[in-house]
Amino acid sequence: MRLAYEGTVEGMTPEDRERVVDRLPADPASLSRDVTGLIQEVRDQGDRALRRMARELDGVELQELEVPKARWTEAREALAEPVRRELERSARNIEAFHRAQLPDDVEVETEPGVRLGRRSVPIPAVGVYAPGGRAAYPSSVLMGVVPARAAGVNEIIVCSPPGPSGEPPPEVLAACSIAGATRLFSLGGAGAVAALVYGTDSVPRVDAVVGPGNQWVTEAKRQVAGQIRIDSPAGPSEVLVVAGPDADPPRVALELVAQAEHDPDAAVAAVCWNDETLDRIRTALAEEVQKAPRRSVVEEALARRGALLLASSRDEALSFSREYAAEHLVLFTPTPREDLEGQTTAGTIFLGGPSSVAFGDYMTGANHVLPTAGRSRSFSSLSVLDFLRFFTWQELSADGAARLAEGTGLLADAEGLPGHARAARDRERPATRARTSR
């Protein structure tokens, strides 16, 4: 078993930190150029470009880009009953948690006669990207579609890469039916993002694009962020486990392997402050890798971004976790609730030994679309708020306007905007103006 880094937190070189902590694409300039070209191709050629990309990148000839709803229904009915039942259970939990996040309208009187408010309205149309390729991700369909539906979005369009049949896997089709999507397209990668943003003859334009994806999808979302709303840069999966002296090493190893099996670009790490615990985690990890059904993917991820780190103390381990800013942070520590209080940079945090990331990936109801590559310092997990737009309203009584008139005029004069000043001072004596007009 080969890891990108094994050693102390203090002993990491700048190169080690760039590889383990920074977690950026190997050649971001090249990736950016390539994605720019794909986006432009879709803008210029529309469906023709999308078919070419499916042929060259996915190895399929697409007769139709859209998957009809009848196929979703068939897939849902053909799904094994236990799997269908648990997908429906997951959807209920997601809806319950996300409905609880819906914001109340705000109304405030900042001064007598000056009333302000804020209201939310759903974004009209959103695109939900569900990854594909190495695995089927019906869970990502639920995580994107169900919160959008809870927010009241009318048009929810899913894009997911086609398999050999020319359609996404049956589980993805079934999830679209369960979640309540409105349309589904067999499209993946940067081309899918471009189609959703700019539209083609087949794919309608949307007002927001959300969902996880590989580095191509993440870069495409970054490039179109100025055109429409995106959620967060949710790239390859990652986890950091903070393991206390009493942590169960096989359980730590299972958490690392579970996220490493997603993708060769996944980033997985564990940090502890006890030599013996770290040795036992290393042994357990090597054993789990040997048994992993997706062993080749796991080994590649560990070699690229895997790390086992020894901290000098609990405080240094927790400090490193804030610097790492993981998508998933797991606190297998003696006092996880206490340790939660100092954490400010993770996408989502799991507290204590029973709390596996796998539960959050599928079933708890919290969203698994999370910022990666350290971007959780700035971005949040996907939530119902990503599907809402907020606007404010302002209402002034005649007396309230009169009280603000001179102060507003003075500030407008100071900025050299006499028209603003006149508009404000026009409201200075409302009663006199009303009598004069009669």
Q: Which residues are catalytic?
A: 327-328
Contact 146, 180 (CB under 8 A): yes
Specify which residues 6 forms β-bridges with: 308
**Beta-bridge partners for 270:** 241, 308
Q: Is 169 helix (H, G, I), strand (E, B) or coil?
A: coil
Residue 354 CA: distances (Å) to CA of 180, 330, 332: 32, 11, 9
Structure tokens at 105: 């309208």
DSSP conformation class of 238: E
Cross-sheet strand order for the sheet of 183-186: 183-186, 155-160, 125-129, 208-210, 229-230
Tell how far CA 123 is from the center of its chain: 17
Place of tokens 């309608």: 204
Residue 242, SS3 per DSSP: strand
The residue ranges of DSSP E strands in 63-202, in sequence order, are 106-111, 114-122, 125-129, 155-160, 183-186
- Report the alpha-carbon distance of residue 50 to residue 34 in Å, rounded: 15
Distance CA 144, CA 150 (A): 11
389's tokens: 């737009």
Q: Based on C-alpha coordinates, what's the Rg of the chain? A: 26
Identify the burial level of 181 via C-beta atoms within 10 angstroms of its C-beta, where 0-12 means exposed, 13-18 middle and 19 or more buried. Answer: buried
Q: Name residue, tokens 């840069």.
A: 233
Q: Which amino acid would we find at residue 281? A: I
Coil, strand or helix: which one is 271?
A: strand
The alpha carbon dihedral of 90, 295, 53, 40 has a sign of positive
**Burial of 212 from C-beta contacts in 10 A (0-12 / 13-18 / 19+):** buried
